[in-house]
Structure 1
Amino acid sequence: MKRISFLLVIMLLMGSVFAVNNFGFEFPEGRRQVSAEILQLVQAVNADSIMSYIQVLQDFETRYYLAPNRLEIATWLKDQFIRFGITDTEFQILEHPQGGTQYNVIATLPGLESEDEYIYIGAHYDSTLESPVPSMTLAPGADDDASGCAAILEIARIMMLAGFQPRCNIRFVAFAMEETGLHGSYYCSYHLRENGTKLRAYINLDMIAFMESEEDDWQIRLHPYTGSEQQHQFAWEQVILYSDLTPVEGVQDTTRGDSYCFWIRGFPTIYLQEPFLNQHMHTPEDTIDKLNPQFCAQMVKAIMATLAGYSLMPAMPREMKVLDGGNGHELVVQWASSNDASITQYKACYSNADGSISGEEIVAGFSHTISDLVQDEEYTVQLYSMDAEGKYSFWVQGSGIPRVIPQTPLNISETPISDAIQISWDANIEWDLAGYILYKSNSESQLGTPITTLPITDTSFTDTDVNSQDGFYYYTLQAIDQDGNISELTDTVSSRPLTLDRGILIVDETKHSIGAGTYNIPNDLVDAFYEGLLEGFAADQFDCEEHDELLRLADIGIYSSILWHGNDMAEMDYIARVKPAIKGYLAAGGKILFSVMGINRSMGVDDFAAQCLGIQQTLSSSLARLKYATSVSEGFFDMQVDPQKISNSPGGHLYHITAIYPTDNAQILYVAGSDFEDEHYFGVLNGSPVGLRNFYEAGEAITLSFPLYYMYQDQAKDFVQHVFRNLFMEDTASDDPYHTPPARLAIGANHPNPFLYSTRFVITAKDEHLPISVSVYNLRGQRVRTLAKDAAPRTVDELSWDGKDEKGMRLASGIYMLRLVQGNRSVARKVVLMH
């Protein structure tokens, strides 16, 4: 293996290079030759130097995230970068609810040309054993991942010693808390995306020093990530050119490493690792004597070449787009400057699907016309930046079809805004585009009329001639070119303005169930329970199970507040699928009370959860139990699990509970409690937050990570009434006797109340087209009597109830709920039966 690589290097340096080398791998043009600058860096890699760093990290005895020496370790890492001459070195501090203060160590080598672009290369410095208790005193982690940290230190040392000058910035990062859930890289990548940082690539190193095979069989594993194919291929090339290792494919889109956090943020990602599982990982035997220093040095050479080679590339072209020339045989390619002074020209390559028509051209400037194409056939265009030395950037890619007739506009969408509707779409790619014709109708079955006299030249239109009382409006779009040619019509989208003036909406995401078990609840019981909590308020219902289409901002934007509940453990991803609608609703001033199971799986710990809900992190345990939700905020009421609703759970406890830890801006409302000691595995979440209040822009969200359905109804009702009356400022029917909301239902006060033999009450239904149903429920949410079912409504009607169930048997004394339903609207009223 060594002889082959050495011979290859000599051939490359002499210029005798073929497109396909001894490995059967084809190099792209412009990347076939060994760089003397990179070769100098690679040859300086020293196995003894790498092992010395690993030894120091092992000598800390443990680098477990809860161990008290974590600042000492981070400081030692930071001091090494400073010793090498990297003065821009800092701690990125993150707080973890269980782990306290943690430290990412970041050192920056500034770039020469692309000052606003970065390459991140990272490894984690924490270590662990399979069991947390011994990890506090002994977790050597020589391979996992002192070896990765040592590689970063060795690369930084050599680059500074050689005076290496990358074109873009390089940041060396040692991450905290990888072993407990990628927390350090999660925090780092999150803030990179929030700050809009331009990242050429993230290179991940995790376990690179264990090898028991003979030297001729040494391999390096490259884990590929979807969307990072160019970066993966480049790393593969550099391994072949600059090391004695054979590259092999790893696991596609692996989640087992810090690289995953960068990949899910949309950053190009490279992950290099030893090829075989180290059987000593997470044991006291993961020590330096088990490592192979020469193999590790070869790994570092491959990594060094990958990092240096990528940092010496010119920046990729930015904002590329491929436009239709409009004449049936031309495409126009446009792009923007990359802010890289080394770029002298660009290379544009194009091809049709079968490759029968292709070409490439060198271009100066930021626009190029490709001619002599076949009408209505799709072409792929790849664009590279080039420098004076002939180095290529990675390509950016687009596609286009030369047409005469404009293409149908793509991705038409609607966004309700305050007293208006914004319609948006993607820009058409015709060079001779004149604009767009937008049609508006009050009926889904009719096209309507153009909304403007002249074509719209922008890619959005804000319609202010709207009224929420009119219901939904329907919009359809087509494109028109300068010759008067028009495209086909788009699909129709519907919307209505955002008004926040229709009271309360109850969103039920509970899976309909007829089975047994704590989290399997009949739908009628769930509906009746939550309607009972909102007694005195008028509320509409949206049952997620009964709608094929996802909830949109247009659906919820007319309501001033929402009670959102999910009471089971099935399909808990609905919130995750409608995040944009929820975010837009809150931003506009809407208010939501969430009470759901598995909230971590419903929405994830991402920018939505942090910004909108105030959830920084979550902690779930299948063993943890909850019996008490204890208020820690003034004005809120303690709540306790109703044991009758979870009779199959010993001790009256809920299980599968999630702790939700707040951001700095959120307020803790409730903490979990149980009948178990804190040290018991059932009591692991005692004292942890399970209720938060958070303000996002003009709106407010209160989030409970347990369903109110399982708490005592009177306590849950006190809580809900407090929230909607005093925090969300909703009006009840009695707040304004002179105001009757349009199209509302109502149950009048019953007389007598309490009653012994019979009580009478008036119902009001202003919509005379939809049938009504009236039922009686007990406080467990069970329907005990149907008084009217699918009856023809009258504006005002009077009903009575004799205190008996469906079989004519007298019911026990207690509180019962009258429930009136019409369409997706319902109201409830409490009545008291006394013997």
Structure 2
Amino acid sequence: MRRFLFLPLTFLLLIFPLLIAAQPIQYGQNPTINGLLESIRSDSLIRTVRDLEAFQTRYCLNGNRWEVAAYLKKRFLDMGITDVKLDSFVINRNGTAYWQANVVATIPGTRNPDELMVIGGHYDSINMNDLNRAPGANDNASGTAGTLELARVVMQTGFKPDITLKFVAFAAEELGLYGGYFMANTLKNQGKKVSLMLNMDMIAVERRSRPNWSVLAYFYGAQDTMPAVAQKYAPLYAGIQVVPDYSGSSDHVPFVLNGFPSLFFFIGDSDPNYHTSGDLLSACNPDYMEEVVKITGAVMVGEQWLPKPVRNTVVRDGGDGQSLHCSWTPGSGRPASSWVVKFEQPGREPDSVETTQPSVLITGLTEGQFTTITIIPRTGAEDFGFPSQVTGTPGTIPSAVSEIADTPDQTSIHLTWKASPELDVTGYRVYRSGLFEEKGDLVSGDLITTTYYEDEPGSTDGYWYYRVVSVDGDGNESHEGEPVRSRLIELNPGILLVDETLNGTGVLLQPSDDQVDDFYSETLSGWSVTFHDADEMKGAKLADLGRYSTVIWVGDDLVDQTMAFAAADDIGSYLQAGGHFVYSGYKPERAFYDNPSNTVTLPEESFMLEKLGVKEIYHVNSTYFNHAVAVDPGMNDVHLDSSKTKSSMKYHLNNITTMQPAEGAEILQVYGTGYADGTAAAKLKGLPVAIRTGKGPGSAVVLTYPLYYTKPADAKLFLSAILNDWGETALGADLPDGLHADCLHLFPAWPNPFNGQVRLKFYNGHDHAIQLSVFDMLGREVTTLVREELPAGHHQISWNPVSQASGVYFCVLRAGNQTSMIKLVLVK
């Protein structure tokens, strides 16, 4: 059988390669990690939880707090750890100073002792109904027990960490993360390098059967990949699933705010005994607790002991149809001594090579065959790091150009793309079309040797579609990739409603797409509105926003605002061009600043400060909002709709933040609540929840509450006041030139072309029997979407042609002797 031939790049430079004969690779559990985890015992965890529960309370202001700290210090010392300290600090409560102590046990690193990993959990407890009876078995004797257990097995197994491990039992977490802040701030001020902070809090309650066990791993911002780290280890070392979740308040938060990578394991809000006298060992699941500690231990060892996956991997096509060149940057952490590289093509026996060079040339491949390349770092006979996988296809025709991006302005569209990695590509060509499915005209002229092109396409009713192809030395053009849509910034009168709300089940606090669309259709009736589903359209960019004079962006769920975060630069450019922007949703600081803290002072040059006029965000847990109180004379109060909120919450919403305006911004509304003044639930009362930066071009309004949950009449009046101030033109005047208020009109479809669902909006000037139908190119009726009597006004319906083929269709609106028609392009 013909074998792959593997050569490192240095061979091409006539330097003798250092290759190691390929050996069978059994990638899986690491023996060092396994040896440590096998020593973790649930009976040891039970002992610690039982001992801590026996203190009756560990409330941090109680006189026995020093007795608890002394117990923990002795436990660490009994393990043989010599460096154990009570790291004391003071907190002030109601004018009284209370000294506290984190219990810190340090095991020095052998390779990089100046680099630290912090493993911990808080040891204090609370029961607001009886501070003298706060057993705190799950919250958080369990996390403290996990910390002690990992320290014990490190000492028992003789594991020699590369970096210094600090096992910490944190004090005074329940009253405000005091122990976490004290340690994180101290390490930051000392200039210490913290590679990772592992926090365990409430890890002992799980009532499901073992195959369904899971633990939450919290992340903080769109760029946080720590839950993925935990998910790598879970299937190898623990019988439990890791589920990523957002935010969560515990002692890791101060580390996050100081820029230290952190990973927080937590059961979620599923413990009925939370902060009660019923939080006892008898209500805990020690076997489940052991599995969470195993995941934590696997991450603790693996992230310092194993080499990190390679980065910046590039696969280049040799252009001869037979070769691929693969190169990479070694991962951080423990240096790899070599890399095992596996190659596989369909129908051929896979092969592998081990190389000490960060590059490999593969020849003798079959042209056009998809090739999978797996790179595994190695430090010893059995110490394999996690693999990285890339793909490539050898060919004579260049592969499609990737990462094409557009930046429109009022006159031009600026295109950029990623340089082709192929060795024989000599330049690029740019094509433009008004239709998604057509390649269009060559607009770039001569071959472009850079990765930039500026086009002046003029206006269009839809989008321009650009395709960029690479060209090799033989004149072969690459395959056409997905075109990028774009158009000029025109700021035509009209509103774009960008909906980032996750399509929920329709139950309370989980609205479906249709429910959200219906609400805003009612709220914005009387205005020219185009709907843009950010989830369906994979976000919203400047070319989408720039057609319209006003953009309203809504995020009516708590799950995910990453699309707003990704679009911040484009929104900024839209405002710079003179557009108007409204944001309504939970926690705008999460959408535009990516910060988990309850109090955020926005830095200079941040998007929220510069573009949205927000200087500070402030939030307090367990506060409840039920209306926005107008303080601007041109605005109205906006009340929650009781049919969309829970009676158990007295028809209030929590998780509503407040703001402080930057200089030049004005307050429109403040936080209102049905709870009495002076109660914790009313703590945010009177603080701003709606801010406006002005009434001229480039102005914005930010609401920290989601409009969907309010009364439609209140929301309509409020939005109308904003739109009127901005000079938006109400419907009747929004019809195309030559049409009048009693006409029949079918507006352009959105999106068009489309590959799933298309929205159709029409206007009828009188009460009429309406028929809306779709026909194919041969005039055959495909479907009738509407056949009923409708009142005068604007209407909207969606069509999702599941069984229709790609092609051109015509949508026809009829009422009496009037007809309006538009063309639809379906692309599948």
Task: Provide the TM-score with structure 2 as the length reference.
Answer: 0.58
Are 2:534 and 1:541 equivalent residues in the alignment? no
Cα deviation, residue 164, structure 1: 7.4
Q: Secondary structure at the match of 2:586?
A: helix
Are 2:143 and 1:148 equivalent residues in the alignment? yes
Cα deviation, residue 334, structure 1: 0.4
Q: Secondary structure at the match of 2:342?
A: strand
Residues in 1 aligned to 2:442 and 2:582: alpha-carbon distance in whole angstroms: 41
Cα deviation, residue 335, structure 1: 0.5
CA gap of 1:767–1:678, structure 2 versus 1, over 3 A, is same
Alignment of 1:284-299 (within 5 A): 284-287=277-280
The Cα offsets for residues 26-62 of structure 1, whole Å up to 9 and x where unpaired, read as 96379447899x69x9699995998399639966534
Residues in 2 aligned to 1:660 and 1:383: alpha-carbon distance in whole angstroms: 46
Cα deviation, residue 369, structure 1: 1.0
Contact between 1:62 and 1:140, CA under 8 Å: does it hold in 2?
A: no
The Cα offsets for residues 341-398 of structure 1, whole Å up to 9 and x where unpaired, read as 74333221222356x4212212122211123322222222221223367633222111
Contact between 1:314 and 1:343, CA under 8 Å: does it hold in 2?
A: yes
Residues in 2 aligned to 1:773 and 1:163: alpha-carbon distance in whole angstroms: 86
Residues in 1 aligned to 2:661 and 2:621: alpha-carbon distance in whole angstroms: 22
Contact between 1:143 and 1:291, CA under 8 Å: does it hold in 2?
A: yes
Q: What's 1:711 paired with?
A: 714
Query: Of 297, 320, 336, which aligns to 1:343?
Result: 336
Q: What's 1:315 paired with?
A: 308
Contact between 1:422 and 1:462, CA under 8 Å: does it hold in 2?
A: yes
The one-letter code matched in structure 1 to 2:572 is L
Percentage identity across paired residues of the two chains? 23
Q: What's 2:571 paired with?
A: 585
Cα deviation, residue 125, structure 1: 5.5
Are 2:498 and 1:495 equivalent residues in the alignment? no
The Cα offsets for residues 651-694 of structure 1, whole Å up to 9 and x where unpaired, read as xx995545632467767642233566358999797446432457
Residues in 1 aligned to 2:364 and 2:294: alpha-carbon distance in whole angstroms: 47
CA gap of 1:687–1:400, structure 2 versus 1, over 3 A, is same
The Cα offsets for residues 503-543 of structure 1, whole Å up to 9 and x where unpaired, read as 663538699xxx9x9x99999997797587xxxxxx85324
Residues in 1 aligned to 2:274 and 2:674: alpha-carbon distance in whole angstroms: 38
Query: Of 530, 554, 562, which aligns to 2:543?
Result: 554
Residues in 1 aligned to 2:718 and 2:265: alpha-carbon distance in whole angstroms: 55
Where do 5+ consecutive residues of structure 1 fail to align? 1-18, 21-25, 94-101, 190-196, 240-246, 533-538, 725-729, 733-743, 748-762, 776-784, 791-805, 808-822, 824-835
Residues in 2 aligned to 1:404 and 1:467: alpha-carbon distance in whole angstroms: 37
Query: Of 431, 447, 450, which aligns to 1:439?
Result: 431
Cα deviation, residue 451, structure 1: 3.7
Residues in 2 aligned to 1:77 and 1:700: alpha-carbon distance in whole angstroms: 56
> Is the radius of gyration larger for structure 1 or structure 2?
1
Alignment of 1:432-831 (within 5 A): 432-441=424-433, 447-458=439-450, 460-463=451-454, 465-467=456-458, 472-498=463-489, 502=492, 505=495, 507=497, 540-544=528-532, 551-559=540-548, 561-563=550-552, 580-581=566-567, 583-589=569-575, 592-594=580-582, 596=584, 599-600=585-586, 607=593, 612=608, 625-626=626-627, 629-631=629-631, 637=634, 639-640=636-637, 655=651, 657=653, 660-662=656-658, 669-673=668-672, 677-678=676-677, 686-687=685-686, 689-693=688-692, 700-703=700-703, 705=705, 706=707, 709-711=712-714, 721=724, 724=726, 767-768=737-738, 772-773=741-742
The one-letter code matched in structure 1 to 2:571 is Y
Q: What's 1:414 paired with?
A: 406
Residues in 2 aligned to 1:339 and 1:522: alpha-carbon distance in whole angstroms: 45
Cα deviation, residue 121, structure 1: 4.4
Q: Secondary structure at the match of 1:343?
A: coil
Q: What's 2:324 paired with?
A: 331
The one-letter code matched in structure 2 to 1:315 is K
Residues in 2 aligned to 1:546 and 1:630: alpha-carbon distance in whole angstroms: 30
Q: What's 2:817 paired with?
A: none
Residues in 2 aligned to 1:44 and 1:675: alpha-carbon distance in whole angstroms: 50
Q: What's 1:753 paired with?
A: none
RMSD value over aligned CA atoms?
A: 7.0
Contact between 2:317 and 2:395, CA under 8 Å: does it hold in 1?
A: yes
Contact between 1:530 and 1:709, CA under 8 Å: does it hold in 2?
A: no
Cα deviation, residue 123, structure 1: 4.0
Q: What's 1:375 paired with?
A: 367
Residues in 2 aligned to 1:30 and 1:104: alpha-carbon distance in whole angstroms: 34
Query: Of 339, 349, 355, which aligns to 1:357?
Result: 349
The one-letter code matched in structure 2 to 1:486 is E
Residues in 2 aligned to 1:218 and 1:471: alpha-carbon distance in whole angstroms: 54
Q: Secondary structure at the match of 1:589?
A: helix
Q: What's 1:139 paired with?
A: 134
Contact between 2:635 and 2:721, CA under 8 Å: does it hold in 1?
A: no
Q: What's 1:797 paired with?
A: none
CA gap of 1:330–1:764, structure 2 versus 1, over 3 A, is closer
CA gap of 1:446–1:389, structure 2 versus 1, over 3 A, is closer
CA gap of 1:349–1:471, structure 2 versus 1, over 3 A, is closer
CA gap of 1:622–1:35, structure 2 versus 1, over 3 A, is closer
CA gap of 1:325–1:389, structure 2 versus 1, over 3 A, is same
The one-letter code matched in structure 1 to 2:672 is G
Contact between 1:476 and 1:490, CA under 8 Å: does it hold in 2?
A: yes
Q: What's 1:816 paired with?
A: none
Residues in 2 aligned to 1:405 and 1:116: alpha-carbon distance in whole angstroms: 52
Residues in 1 aligned to 2:581 and 2:101: alpha-carbon distance in whole angstroms: 35
Where do 5+ consecutive residues of structure 2 fail to align? 1-22, 92-99, 185-191, 218-224, 601-606, 745-763, 770-790, 793-819, 821-828
The one-letter code matched in structure 1 to 2:483 is T
CA gap of 1:153–1:718, structure 2 versus 1, over 3 A, is same
Contact between 2:227 and 2:244, CA under 8 Å: does it hold in 1?
A: no
Q: Secondary structure at the match of 1:403?
A: coil
Q: Secondary structure at the match of 2:543?
A: helix
Residues in 1 aligned to 2:650 and 2:42: alpha-carbon distance in whole angstroms: 57
The one-letter code matched in structure 1 to 2:636 is M
Residues in 1 aligned to 2:624 and 2:569: alpha-carbon distance in whole angstroms: 32
Task: Provide the TM-score with structure 1 as the length reference.
Answer: 0.58
Contact between 2:322 and 2:363, CA under 8 Å: does it hold in 1?
A: yes
Residues in 1 aligned to 2:332 and 2:54: alpha-carbon distance in whole angstroms: 40
CA gap of 1:687–1:85, structure 2 versus 1, over 3 A, is farther
Alignment of 1:67-86 (within 5 A): 85=83
The Cα offsets for residues 148-172 of structure 1, whole Å up to 9 and x where unpaired, read as 2343356468879999764467676
